[in-house]
Amino acid sequence: MSAVIETVELTKTFGTKTVVDNLSFQVGRGEVLGFLGPNGAGKSTTMKMITGFLTPSSGTAIVEGFDVARDPIAVKTAIGYLPEGAPAYPDMTARGFLGFVAGIRGFDGAERRKRVDAAMAMTELAEVAEQPIDTLSKGFKRRVGLAQALLHNPPVLILDEPTDGLDPNQKFGVRKLITEMAAEKSIIISTHILEEVDAVCSRAMIIAGGKILVDGTPTELAARSCKGSLDEVFREVTGNA
Amino acid sequence: MRNIGLIFRRELAAYFATPLAYIFIIIFLVLAGTLTFFVGSFMERDQADLQAFFSFHPWLYLFLVPALSMRLWAEERRTGSIELLLTMPITMTQAVLGKYLAAWVFTGIALALTAPIWLTVNYLGDPDNGVIVASYVASFLMAGAFMAIGSMISASTKNQVIAFVLTTTICFVLTLAGSPIVIEFFANWAPPMLIELVNGLGFLSHFQAIQRGVIDFRDFIYFASIIGLALYANALILDLEKAA
């Protein structure tokens, strides 16, 4: 299995604080990697570096063979990214916003409309298509962010807390969507919800203090605890980190 | 070019999606008109020119342009949309230019809407329309220079009030740099070269030069360099923040 996403000794320091510490890992096609870890563990910072929003202090990330430092546009083209908090342009309507993103992603005319419609159908946005994003509920805003990330059918998806703020039905919907896409993509999601790892991830990584503490399949991880639950492992490995 | 165009259109539409655009344009037109007729004594001067109109533009821009520019990057940072924009497959230059051009063209729209005063002066008398065209160009260039500085400042802070105050201050200093007050301040002690430099830096002297209808290439170079330098610094600041 060749790596689609690879981080090479990825490091980020803010002042004297090391947020991501020499992180090296690989994600192959068909893999869904779940980032777990307490707040401030470096999950979002790692994602921001892979997507080219932050420049690493040292090390680099390689996506589909392109180095994010040398070829950021190629990396950004290959990635669909849902940033933390699902930001968007609040004054735009959901359709207008997705149309803008589709334009930037290189789609025009009928193809652009088709892409926008397809992304809205996947994330069930049709009923709020003409509403300003400002006026949408948290769940819809998150789905607009998701639609924006899926629109160009990218080989790589990086989703920072994709189900945060969704109700149980919506969570189920998003997880189903991720599972359906998993086979032909490489996906990294970050989450606080451990059951989500069980539900969608083929591999889980617990990070704290910018370091990988545990890396394995959800079952392997759970087996490490005497009680056999992910919750237990999470508390055990991050409790004193 | 395509990406600049897309960002430009999105930004320009965003102005008109909120009351911001309309309030800005109305205030600009009302102030420009009031200053021209009441403070500038347009009628009493009894001259067929728009001197009274254009002479107030630097002072109008001084607080109206920062009001527009302050949100350019600070707002993206506040809402987090900057993360979305800068992880799209676009270059930093495209992002900076697209946003800047939209803001500049928006001030151009406000400026173009003052055309009735041009028609009025043509109706009342026989003005030198060449001078008026040059004055419009000068006014637009100056707005562009203010806007570029404002965009740069906006990139360096999340706080829009700080962006506004800093931009106004910097533009105020630059506007006055060539004025008699500042030159006199330097006259007594500074070497002539420094005085010449300070004089050359002033918005006002370049604005007035073009406004007189004397199209000197150097005045264009001046405004173009201010805009170019400020936008270059703008992109640099954003790059530095990524690495911070």
Kindly list the domain boundaries of chain B, sorted by start residue.
2-243
The mean pLDDT value for B182-198 works out to 76
Look at B18 and A92 and tell me if their CB atoms are within 8 Å. Answer: no
Q: Work out the pLDDT band at A225, boundaries 50, 70, 90.
A: low
Task: Give Cα separations from A141 to A89, A126, A183 (angstroms).
Answer: 10, 13, 26
Asked whether the beta carbons of residue B14 and residue A73 sit closer than 8 angstroms, the reply is no
pLDDT of residue A227: 65
∠ CA B224-B229-B235 to the nearest 5 degrees? 125
**How is A176-241 classified by DSSP, letter by letter?**
HHHHHHHTTSEEEEE-S-HHHHHHH-SEEEEEETTEEEEEE-HHHHHHTSTT--HHHHHHHHHTT-
Question: A241: pLDDT confidence band, cut at 50, 70 and 90?
Answer: very low
**What is residue A1's predicted lDDT score, i.e. its pLDDT?**
52
pLDDT at residue A240, rounded to an integer = 60
Interface test with A, best of B1, B6, B81, B83 (most A CBs within 10 A): B83
With CB atoms and an 8 Å threshold, state whether B243 touches A88: no
**Which is higher by pLDDT, B154 or B220?**
B154
Answer whether residue B217 shows pLDDT above 90: no
| Domain positions in chain A | 3-85+155-238
Buried (b) or exposed (e) across B171-182, using 16+ Cβ within 10 A? bbebbbbbeeeb
- A58-63 and A66-67: which strand pairing? antiparallel
Distance from CA of B67 to the nearest CA of A (A): 18
Question: A5 vs chain B: nearest CA distance in angstroms?
Answer: 16
User: Looking at the DSSP assignment, which residues form a beta bridge with residue A205?
Assistant: A35, A215
Q: Are B94 and B3 in contact (CB under 8 A)?
A: yes
pLDDT in tens, B89-140: 999 999 999 999 999 999 999 999 998 888 888 888 888 888 888 889 889 9
* CA distances from residue B25 to A29, B31, B98, B109 in whole angstroms, order as listed: 53, 10, 21, 8
Q: Which fold has domain A3-85+155-238?
A: Rossmann fold (3.40.50)
Percentage of residues in chain A with pLDDT exceeding 70? 97
pLDDT per residue over A150-201, tens digit each?
999 999 999 999 988 888 888 888 899 999 989 889 999 998 888 888 889 9
Query: Tens digit of pLDDT for each residue in A132-146?
Result: 999 999 889 999 999
Q: How far is B231 from chain A (nearest CA, A)?
A: 20
Q: Are strands A3-14 and A156-160 parallel, antiparallel or unpaired?
A: unpaired
Mean pLDDT, chain A, as a whole number? 90
Quote ipTM for the complex. 0.90
When computed from its CA atoms, the radius of gyration of chain B, rounded to whole angstroms, is 19
Q: What average pLDDT does range B196-221 have in this prediction? A: 78
In sequence order, the β-bridge partners of residue A63 are: A5, A66
Helix (H, G, I), strand (E, B) or coil at B178: coil
Phi, psi for residue B6 in degrees, rounded to 5? -65, -45
